[in-house]
Every structure is written in C-alpha cells, then in structure tokens.
Amino acid sequence: MPRLLLITASSPEIQQVRRSRVLNFQQITMPYLAARVPPDWHVTHVDEEAEKLDWNIEADLVGITFHTPSANHAYHLAAHFRSRGACVAMGGPHVTLLPEEAGRHADVIFIGEAEGLWEEFLQGFVAGAYHRVYRQTGAPSLERAPMARKALFHRNDHTSGVLFATRGCPNHCDFCTVAVMYRDGLRKRPIAEVAAECASFQGKVIIFWDDNITADRAYAKELFRAIAPCQKWWSSQAGIHAGRDDELLEAAASSGCKQLFLGLESISQSSMGEVHKGFNRVEEYARIIKRIHGHGIAVQAGMVFGFDHDTHEIFKDTLDFLEETGVQNATFNILTPYPGTPLFRRLEGEGRILTRDWPKYNSRTEVVYQPKQMSTAELIAGFRYANERFYSLPSMARRLARSPVQIWWTLPLNLAYGWRALAEAT
Ligand code: SF4
C-alpha cells in the first residue's frame, strides 16, 4: 500500500506572524486532493497551521502545498524527505508563480490547478513512470468534484465547516495572486453539489473559501437559495458589487450569511486606479457598508497600505472611515508584491524590489519594496497604528455596539485580532 504524506506547509516564522488559532481556518487544498487518491493508498495530512509535523514519518510520496512566505521552509521539508528516499511533489500558489525555483527543490511540480493531473501522476507513480512537471493548460472541470476528506481535517471546532463554490475571479487586480493562479477567470461548481457538501457538515458554521463568492450574482443568488435549507451560519469573501444588490443581500441573509469579507483595499480612489481595481468606487463604500448592515450581515474590511498614492495621512483617514462606518472587523495588510504578479513586475522594473527573501513576504512585519511617498519604517509604523487603534478596547466597544449580528460572531474575531496587534506592538 503506497504511503502518501500531504503537508500544508507553514513556516515557524509565518505561524509567529499569524499567532492566533481563531484566525487560522481549516485549509482545504489537501483534503480535496486527498479525495482524488485511490482508496488503496494510505494517506496522512499534516496542516502545520494546526499541528506539528513528525519529521520521522515514513512516506513513499510527499505532497507539499505552500504560499510564498513559507517557500523556504517547504524547500527545507522537501530536502529532508528526499534525503530519506521519498519522492517529493510540490504545488500551490508559489510553485505556480515561480515554477523554475520550485522545480529545483522537488522531484515533481504541479503548475496551476492539480485536478486531473494529480490522478494521472499517482497512476504513473505506482507504475514507476511519471513526469517532472505537470502543467495545467486548461481549466479542469469543477463538476462532480469529490467532497473534501473530512477525516483529514485538523479542526473540529467552529471553523471545521469549509468548502468552496467558485474558483478564481473575473477581475485582474495587479497585486492579486488569484488572477495569476486562475487565468480562466471565474468557474463555478454545480449548485446542487455545493449544497450537498454544505449539508454534509455537522457543525453550524460554514466558511466558503471562495475568492469572490458573489462575482456571478445570478449564480450566487441561486446558490444562497439552495443552501438556505441547511440552516448554517456562513461567511465568505465578496466584491463590493454585492452591496449594490438588495436581492442578493436578502438571499445571502436568508441563507445564514453572518459576515462578508469585502476587499475594499483603500479609501484612495487613485490607489484603486493604480492597481487596476478602479471598479471599487470609494465614494460608494459607506453606502454599501450601511446596506449590508441593513440586511443583518457584518462587514470585515480588507485594507492595504503602501500604494504609490498613499501618503502619511492614509492611516488616520482610513481608521476614521472604518470607525465612522462601524465595520465589525478589518484585516490590515502591508502591500506585498508577490512574485509573478503584475505589481511585482512593475516594481522590479522600477528597481524598487528590496528583497527576495520569501519569509519577509508576510504582509505584516516587513516591507519588501520601496514605497513611493514614505519610508519602509513609516509604512510599518502606520500599519501598526491602524491595528492598535482599530482593535483598541474603546474602538471595539463603539463598533460592536452597532453590530448587526450577535456579539458572539464579532467579538472573538475582534479579540483575536486585538491580541495579535498587541503582540506585534511588544
Ligand atoms: S477582485 Fe479580489 S480576488 Fe478578484 S482579482 Fe481583485 S483582489 Fe483578486
């Protein structure tokens, strides 16, 4: 029986940056891939966000997926398991963005989505004849995708209900790896299959791992109506266009949507234009947040600092805006030009990439490029100010008092983010 070890790699450095279990949701790539492994294989999954890897574990084949900040760590893992005689296959965002680099550390790499190619490779592995590179040239069908193997999940708490309905996004924001990973734009699973997987979870809370679940509004409305009978509470990422459509918001709320993560990114329209996200109309933000709140749905705002149009004022102005509009949660990030993105190419062309030390590409503790209108130290200081002010007790109290959803949904996240902000400040 072939022994397959799947690793969702997370370096010690990135675990230190993330710090809180509340903020780390169950990862799904490997449980979904495991569902495509023949039944006569012995499969183990280690999600380093959730548990320690036993480096002495015996495996014939090791599959590793990782993001850029964990790349060096993943290469270290690969060297270790190769030295023990295992075949190491790598895939995921960083491999797709930089296949030549990843290929130097693995026996096999997957460029792009693995479905279809993965099954072909496993057959070849058993037969002793497989390729070094599996490159996805089309868009694999999402129909009849097997449900993720829940037995390989490492979480049994409120975040253990995870799945996806759509993959990719029709937009092409310069800084976004999604647009590079899924070049075919938005693809959707059959709604009945998503509803069945949603209903298969025991717990009440569901996280849709979609990058933009409302990108196709007609599909989203149909999906929300289909999952309503499951009576779950759910959250996902959405574009701000969701907030322009009351029918969509009504369908979302009726199906148990408790919170939408909105990639607002910046309150500077010039910055949005700069990174090809001009469809985010800043003048609409307050109206959209109010409308979403009106449907009883909390808003988590994704904000980024460090665009070329950002000046010193951006930090205070952003915080004033977020507090005035009463968003329940916010995720602040330092702009990070991931390799392979248009943003990286532009900054590289301008000689502004400061380092290729991948652990520094964590969006929280380091600035990896030269900002235009401030120093790297000022950008980090502004980022810390934003976290500390937003997650201060007075700010939390003011914002959560106006929350459209019950406090048990918003308070744990606020406390987790607040704790992390405090830890970063010390
Ligand atoms: S809308 Fe969001 S997911 Fe889509 S390309 Fe832009 S940043 Fe990426």
Which CATH number is 49's domain given? 3.40.50.280
The dihedral through the CA atoms of 373, 358, 336, 49 has a sign that is negative
| 256 assigned to some structural domain | yes
Confidence of residue 22 (pLDDT cuts 50, 70, 90): low
Same domain, 95 and 131: yes
**328 pocket-lining for ligand 1 (C-beta < 6 Å):** no
Confidence of residue 81 (pLDDT cuts 50, 70, 90): very high
Nearest Cα to Cα of residue 423 among 387, 396, 386: 387
Q: Which residue has the higher pLDDT, 161 or 20?
A: 161
CA–CA gap between residue 109 and residue 99 (Å, rounded): 7
Ligand 1 centroid, distance to 239 Cα (angstroms):
8
Same domain, 414 and 266: yes
Q: What average pLDDT does the segment 72-99 reach?
A: 97
Ligand 1 centroid, distance to 210 Cα (angstroms):
11
CA–CA gap between residue 35 and residue 29 (Å, rounded): 10
Q: Which of 168-172, 225-229, 270-274, 410-414 has the lowest mean pLDDT?
A: 410-414
Same domain, 131 and 170: no
Q: How many CA atoms lie within 13 A of 44 on its CB side?
A: 16
pLDDT at 364: 92
| 147 assigned to some structural domain | no
Confidence of residue 55 (pLDDT cuts 50, 70, 90): very high
Ligand 1 centroid, distance to 181 Cα (angstroms):
11
Same domain, 417 and 339: yes
Ligand 1 centroid, distance to 124 Cα (angstroms):
36
Confidence of residue 21 (pLDDT cuts 50, 70, 90): low
Same domain, 79 and 168: no
Domain termination site, one of 135, 152, 181: 135
Ligand 1 centroid, distance to 237 Cα (angstroms):
10
| 149 assigned to some structural domain | no
Substitution site in 173, 213, 307 for ligand 1 pocket (most atoms within 8 Å of beta carbon)? 173
**176 pocket-lining for ligand 1 (C-beta < 6 Å):** yes
Beta strands in 117-204 (DSSP E): 133-135, 162-163, 166-167, 187-188
Share of the chain above pLDDT 90, in %: 82
Confidence of residue 159 (pLDDT cuts 50, 70, 90): low
**115 pocket-lining for ligand 1 (C-beta < 6 Å):** no
- On whether the CB atoms of residues 272 and 266 are closer than 8 A, the answer is yes
Same domain, 88 and 199: no
Substitution site in 211, 240, 300 for ligand 1 pocket (most atoms within 8 Å of beta carbon)? 211
CA 194 and chain centroid, separation: 19
Q: What average pLDDT does the segment 257-285 reach?
A: 97
Q: Check which CATH number belongs to the domain holding 336 and give it.
A: 3.20.20.70
| 232 assigned to some structural domain | yes
How many domains, in total, are found in the chain?
2
Whole domain around residue 379: which residue ranges? Answer: 161-425
| 151 assigned to some structural domain | no
Question: Is the pLDDT at 307 greater than 70, yes or no?
Answer: yes
Nearest Cα to Cα of residue 414 among 330, 346, 299, 301: 330
Counting atoms of ligand 1 from 1, which one is nearest the CA of 277? 6
Confidence of residue 23 (pLDDT cuts 50, 70, 90): low
CB-neighbour burial class of residue 55 (10 A; exposed 0-12, middle 13-18, buried 19+):
exposed
**171 pocket-lining for ligand 1 (C-beta < 6 Å):** yes
CA–CA gap between residue 243 and residue 90 (Å, rounded): 38
| 356 assigned to some structural domain | yes
Nearest Cα to Cα of residue 405 among 251, 290, 297: 297
Closest residue CA from atom 6 of ligand 1: 173
Cα distance between the two ends of the chain? 50
Confidence of residue 183 (pLDDT cuts 50, 70, 90): confident
Counting atoms of ligand 1 from 1, which one is nearest the CA of 175? 7
Closest residue CA from atom 1 of ligand 1: 171
Question: Is the pLDDT at 337 greater than 80, yes or no?
Answer: yes
Same domain, 224 and 170: yes
Same domain, 302 and 196: yes
| 367 assigned to some structural domain | yes
**77 pocket-lining for ligand 1 (C-beta < 6 Å):** no
Does this model's pTM top 0.85? My answer is yes
Would you tell me how many other CB atoms lie within 10 Å of the CB of residue 196?
14
Amino acid identity of 266? S
CA–CA gap between residue 260 and residue 320 (Å, rounded): 21
Closest residue CA from atom 8 of ligand 1: 176
Counting atoms of ligand 1 from 1, which one is nearest the CA of 172? 5
Counting atoms of ligand 1 from 1, which one is nearest the CA of 263? 2
Ligand 1 centroid, distance to 86 Cα (angstroms):
37
Domain termination site, one of 99, 119, 135: 135
Size (the chain), residues: 426
CA–CA gap between residue 282 and residue 171 (Å, rounded): 17
Nearest Cα to Cα of residue 200 among 250, 154, 146, 254: 146
Ligand 1 centroid, distance to 185 Cα (angstroms):
10
Same domain, 193 and 126: no
Q: What average pLDDT does the segment 330-356 reach?
A: 97
- DSSP string for residues in 301-324: EEEEE--TT--THHHHHHHHHHHH
What are the tens digits of pLDDT across the range 373-407?
A: 999 999 999 999 999 999 999 999 888 888 887 77
Ligand 1 centroid, distance to 7 Cα (angstroms):
27
Counting atoms of ligand 1 from 1, which one is nearest the CA of 177? 8
Q: What average pLDDT does the segment 304-332 reach?
A: 96
Same domain, 353 and 242: yes
pLDDT at 13: 84
pLDDT at 138: 87
Domain termination site, one of 69, 100, 135: 135
pLDDT at 278: 97
pLDDT at 157: 64
Same domain, 68 and 25: yes
Ligand 1 centroid, distance to 143 Cα (angstroms):
23
Q: What average pLDDT does the segment 289-307 reach?
A: 96
pLDDT at 194: 98
Nearest Cα to Cα of residue 180 among 337, 31, 332: 337
| 144 assigned to some structural domain | no
Counting atoms of ligand 1 from 1, which one is nearest the CA of 170? 4
Ligand 1 centroid, distance to 176 Cα (angstroms):
6
Question: Is the pLDDT at 169 greater than 60, yes or no?
Answer: yes
Same domain, 211 and 274: yes
